[in-house]
Amino acid sequence: MGSPTFELLKLITKLGLAGGAMYVAQDQGLLGSSSQAEAALQKAKAALPPAVQEWADNIGVQIPAIPKFNFSLCESWNWGVDKTVSAFDSAPHKITEYTQDGWNYLKDLVK
């Protein structure tokens, strides 16, 4: 087990890294709306391949091409929320429909 000074230094380092990561995420718009997050993603997609290629050239490693994805963050951002709200919206109608079907089934059994 380390000394209390070493443990305090580790804690301060972790808090500094976490705070820095939160600052960068907020500054780049990752914690904003879906359109801000998509803009930040597009900016990262434009900057990342040249940086990785430069790093690979310095080390002397051949990196395969990055596959292309047709994915829009704005279109899928709130997909789960939309589906949940839609389910809650149609629930009273569905419950009424299922109850009526069950009631008709019971009446047919009794006949």
Q: 41 and 22, same structural domain? A: no
Residue 30: the pLDDT is 77
Same domain, 23 and 38: no
Domain count across the chain: 3
How far is residue 36 from each of residues 39, 42, 57, 68, 106, measured CA to CA in Å?
5, 10, 32, 21, 55
pLDDT digits (tens, 9 = 90+) for 12-64: 999 999 999 888 888 887 777 777 877 887 887 788 778 878 888 888 878 77
Residues 12, 9: Cα–Cα separation, whole Å: 5
Whether the model pTM is above 0.85 = no
- Structural domain of 57: 33-74
Supply φ then ψ for residue 67, to 5 degrees: -65, 150
Is there a single domain that holds both residue 60 and residue 85?
no
